[in-house]
Amino acid sequence: LLAGAAPRAGQEQSTSDLDREAVGWGFDPPVMKLAVTMAAPSADDNGSDVGRLLRELKLGHDLHNVSVDFGVLRTLSEVLRAGDWHVTATVVSTRFESTLGSRQSRGLRRPKLIRVEPGDTTGCHCILALDIGTTSVWGQLIHIPKRTVIATASDYNGQISFGEDVITRIVHAERAGGLEELQKAVVRTVNKVVADLLEQTGMDRGCISAVSAAGNTTMTHLLLGLPPRYIRAAPYVLTTSLFPPVKARSLGLDLEDSVSVYAFPAVASYVGGDIVAGVLGAGFYRHKDLTLYMDLGTNGEVVLGGSDWMVSASCSAGPALEGGGVRCGVRASPGAIDAFALDGDTREPRIRTMGEHKPIGICGVGLIEMIAELLGHGILEANGKFDAQRGGARVREGEDGVEYLLVAARDSATGDDIVLTERDIENIVRSKAAMYAGVMTLLDSVSLDIGDIQRIIVAGALGNYLDIEKCKQVGLFPDVPREVFSYIGNGSLLGARLVALSNELLDDAERIAKMITNIELSDHPGFYDNYLSAMFLPHTDMKQFPHVAVKLGRG
Amino acid sequence: LLAGAAPRAGQEQSTSDLDREAVGWGFDPPVMKLAVTMAAPSADDNGSDVGRLLRELKLGHDLHNVSVDFGVLRTLSEVLRAGDWHVTATVVSTRFESTLGSRQSRGLRRPKLIRVEPGDTTGCHCILALDIGTTSVWGQLIHIPKRTVIATASDYNGQISFGEDVITRIVHAERAGGLEELQKAVVRTVNKVVADLLEQTGMDRGCISAVSAAGNTTMTHLLLGLPPRYIRAAPYVLTTSLFPPVKARSLGLDLEDSVSVYAFPAVASYVGGDIVAGVLGAGFYRHKDLTLYMDLGTNGEVVLGGSDWMVSASCSAGPALEGGGVRCGVRASPGAIDAFALDGDTREPRIRTMGEHKPIGICGVGLIEMIAELLGHGILEANGKFDAQRGGARVREGEDGVEYLLVAARDSATGDDIVLTERDIENIVRSKAAMYAGVMTLLDSVSLDIGDIQRIIVAGALGNYLDIEKCKQVGLFPDVPREVFSYIGNGSLLGARLVALSNELLDDAERIAKMITNIELSDHPGFYDNYLSAMFLPHTDMKQFPHVAVKLGRG
pLDDT at A210: 96
User: Any idea which of A104-108, A249-253, A513-517, B2-6 has the lowest mean pLDDT?
Assistant: B2-6
Which residue of chain B is at minimal alpha-carbon distance from A222?
Answer: B74
Complex prediction ipTM: 0.79
The answer to whether the CB atoms of B45 and A235 lie below 8 A apart is yes
Nearest to B77 among A75, A227, A523 (CB): A227
Nearest to B240 among A48, A102, A523 (CB): A48
- Within 8 A of A70 by CB-CB distance, chain B residues are 224, 244-246
Nearest to B98 among A50, A67, A520 (CB): A67
The answer to whether the CB atoms of A105 and B520 lie below 8 A apart is no
3-class DSSP string for B195-219: HHHHHHHCCCHHHEEEEEEEECHHH
Which residue of chain B is at minimal alpha-carbon distance from A109?
Answer: B108
Q: How many C-beta neighbours within 10 Å does residue A446 have?
A: 15
Contact of A322 with A336, CB cutoff 8 Å: no
| Range 14-53 of B in CB contact (< 8 A) with A | 41-43, 45-46, 48-51
The answer to whether the CB atoms of B98 and A76 lie below 8 A apart is no
The answer to whether the CB atoms of B67 and A225 lie below 8 A apart is no
pLDDT at B46: 62
- Within 8 A of B174 by CB-CB distance, chain A residues are none
- Within 8 A of A74 by CB-CB distance, chain B residues are 225-227
pLDDT at B484: 95
Of residues A162 and B17, more confidence is placed in A162
For strands B291-295 and B301-305, give the pairing. Answer: antiparallel
pTM: 0.84
For strands A208-215 and A126-132, give the pairing. Answer: parallel
Phi-psi region of A84 (alpha: psi -120 to 50; beta: other; left: phi over 0): left
Identify from B44, B110, B240, B311 which residue to disrupt to test chain A contact, counting A C-beta atoms within 10 A and taking the largest count: B240
pLDDT at B547: 93
Contact of B294 with B129, CB cutoff 8 Å: no
Phi-psi region of A144 (alpha: psi -120 to 50; beta: other; left: phi over 0): alpha
Among residues of chain A, what percentage have pLDDT more than 90?
Answer: 65
Of residues B526 and B231, more confidence is placed in B526
Q: Average pLDDT, stretch B45-65?
A: 86
| Range 363-402 of A in CB contact (< 8 A) with B | none
CA distance A448 to A383: 28
Calculate how close chain B gets to A229, using CA atoms only, in Å.
9
For strands A310-314 and A516-518, give the pairing. Answer: parallel
Q: Is A233 within 8 Å of chain B by CB?
A: no
- Within 8 A of B67 by CB-CB distance, chain A residues are 98, 100-101, 105, 244
The answer to whether the CB atoms of A68 and B240 lie below 8 A apart is yes
Q: What is the CA radius of gyration of chain A?
A: 26
pLDDT score of B8 more than 90: no
Contact of B444 with B422, CB cutoff 8 Å: no
Spatial strand order of the sheet with B336-342 comes to: B349-353, B336-342, B361-362
- Within 8 A of A110 by CB-CB distance, chain B residues are 98, 101, 105, 108
A380 DSSP assignment:
B
The model's pLDDT over A276-297, given as tens digits with 9 standing for 90+, comes to 999 999 999 999 999 999 998 7
Phi-psi region of B316 (alpha: psi -120 to 50; beta: other; left: phi over 0): left
Q: At what angle do helices B178-201 and B217-224 cross, to 10 degrees?
A: 90
| Range 135-154 of A in CB contact (< 8 A) with B | none
For residue A546, say if its preceding peptide bond is cis, omega within 30 degrees of 0.
Answer: no
When pLDDT is cut at 50, 70 and 90, the band that residue A503 belongs to is: confident
CA distance A445 to B532: 91
When pLDDT is cut at 50, 70 and 90, the band that residue B285 belongs to is: very high
Contact of B88 with B34, CB cutoff 8 Å: yes
The model's pLDDT over A219-265, given as tens digits with 9 standing for 90+, comes to 999 999 999 888 877 777 788 888 888 999 999 999 999 999 999 99
Please, which contacts does A527-531 make with residues 24 or more away whose CB atoms are closer than 8 Å? Answer: A527/A437, A527/A438, A527/A441, A530/A436, A530/A437, A530/A440, A530/A441, A530/A444, A531/A433, A531/A434, A531/A437
The answer to whether the CB atoms of B43 and A74 lie below 8 A apart is no
Contact of A450 with A352, CB cutoff 8 Å: no
Q: Is A229 within 8 Å of chain B by CB?
A: yes
pLDDT score of B13 more than 60: no
Most confident of A454-463, B234-243, B441-450: B441-450
CA B198 to the chain's CA centroid? 22
pLDDT at B67: 85
Nearest to B226 among A67, A74, A239 (CB): A74
Nearest CA-CA partner of B471 in B388, B369, B390: B369
CA distance A231 to A221: 10
Calculate how close chain B gets to A206, using CA atoms only, in Å.
22
When pLDDT is cut at 50, 70 and 90, the band that residue A267 belongs to is: confident
CA distance B59 to B71: 24
Per-residue b or e along B532-542, where b marks 16 or more CB atoms closer than 10 Å to that residue's CB: ebbbbbbbeeb
Q: Where are the beta strands (DSSP E) in B77-179?
A: 86-92, 112-118, 126-132, 136-143, 148-156
What are the Cα distances from residue A19, in Å, to A144, A405, A498? 10, 48, 10
Identify from B105, B179, B237 which residue to disrupt to test chain A contact, counting A C-beta atoms within 10 A and taking the largest count: B237
pLDDT score of B102 more than 50: no
Helix (H) or strand (E) segment spanning residue B282: helix B273-282
Contact of A548 with A479, CB cutoff 8 Å: yes
SS3 call for A172:
helix
CA distance B46 to B42: 8
Q: How many C-beta neighbours within 10 Å does residue A160 have?
A: 16
Nearest to B77 among A41, A230, A244 (CB): A230
pLDDT at B502: 87
Identify from A45, A57, A65 which residue to disrupt to test chain B contact, counting B C-beta atoms within 10 A and taking the largest count: A65
Which residue of chain B is at minimal alpha-carbon distance from A55?
Answer: B102
Q: Average pLDDT, stretch B484-496?
A: 92
User: Any idea which of A60-69, A182-191, B4-13, B129-138 has the lowest mean pLDDT?
Assistant: B4-13
In chain A the first and final C-alpha atoms are separated, in Å, by 46
When pLDDT is cut at 50, 70 and 90, the band that residue B445 belongs to is: very high
Nearest to A65 among B64, B66, B102 (CB): B102
The answer to whether the CB atoms of A67 and B100 lie below 8 A apart is yes
| Range 487-526 of A in CB contact (< 8 A) with B | 517-518, 520, 523
Nearest to B65 among A105, A110, A224 (CB): A105
- Within 8 A of B64 by CB-CB distance, chain A residues are 102, 104
Per-residue b or e along B159-197, where b marks 16 or more CB atoms closer than 10 Å to that residue's CB: bbebbbbbeebbbbbeeeebbebbbebbbbbbbbbbebb
The answer to whether the CB atoms of A227 and B108 lie below 8 A apart is no
| Range 73-92 of B in CB contact (< 8 A) with A | 73-78
SS3 call for B132:
strand
- Within 8 A of A517 by CB-CB distance, chain B residues are 46
For residue B334, say if its preceding peptide bond is cis, omega within 30 degrees of 0.
Answer: no
In chain B the first and final C-alpha atoms are separated, in Å, by 46
What are the Cα distances from residue A234, in Å, to A49, A230, A270, A280? 54, 8, 12, 28
Contact of B263 with B237, CB cutoff 8 Å: no
Which residue of chain B is at minimal alpha-carbon distance from A245?
Answer: B70
When pLDDT is cut at 50, 70 and 90, the band that residue A104 belongs to is: very low
Contact of A205 with A248, CB cutoff 8 Å: no
When pLDDT is cut at 50, 70 and 90, the band that residue A431 belongs to is: very high
Alpha helix ranges (H) inside B384-481: 388-391, 422-445, 468-474
For strands A418-421 and A401-407, give the pairing. Answer: antiparallel
Nearest to B51 among A42, A46, A241 (CB): A241
Which residue of chain B is at minimal alpha-carbon distance from A74?
Answer: B226
pLDDT at A269: 76
The model's pLDDT over A312-370, given as tens digits with 9 standing for 90+, comes to 998 888 888 878 889 999 888 899 999 999 988 888 999 999 989 999 999 999 999 99
Q: Is B268 within 8 Å of chain A by CB?
A: yes
B10 DSSP assignment:
T
Nearest to B65 among A48, A68, A104 (CB): A104
When pLDDT is cut at 50, 70 and 90, the band that residue A109 belongs to is: low
The answer to whether the CB atoms of A78 and B227 lie below 8 A apart is yes
Contacts A–B by Cβ distance under 8 A: 149
Q: How many C-beta neighbours within 10 Å does residue A235 have?
A: 15
Calculate how close chain A gets to B160, using CA atoms only, in Å.
23
Alpha helix ranges (H) inside B354-447: 364-376, 388-391, 422-445
Which residue of chain B is at minimal alpha-carbon distance from A217?
Answer: B48
What are the Cα distances from residue A382, in Å, to A10, A48, A325, A537, A551? 30, 78, 21, 4, 14
- Within 8 A of B48 by CB-CB distance, chain A residues are 237-241
When pLDDT is cut at 50, 70 and 90, the band that residue A1 belongs to is: very low
- Within 8 A of B54 by CB-CB distance, chain A residues are 100, 102
Calculate how close chain B gets to A51, using CA atoms only, in Å.
7
Which residue of chain B is at minimal alpha-carbon distance from A44?
Answer: B235
Q: Which are the contacts of B399, defined by CB distance < 8 A and separation ≥ 6?
A: none
Contact of A346 with A369, CB cutoff 8 Å: no
The model's pLDDT over B171-215, given as tens digits with 9 standing for 90+, comes to 999 999 999 999 999 999 999 999 999 999 999 999 999 999 999
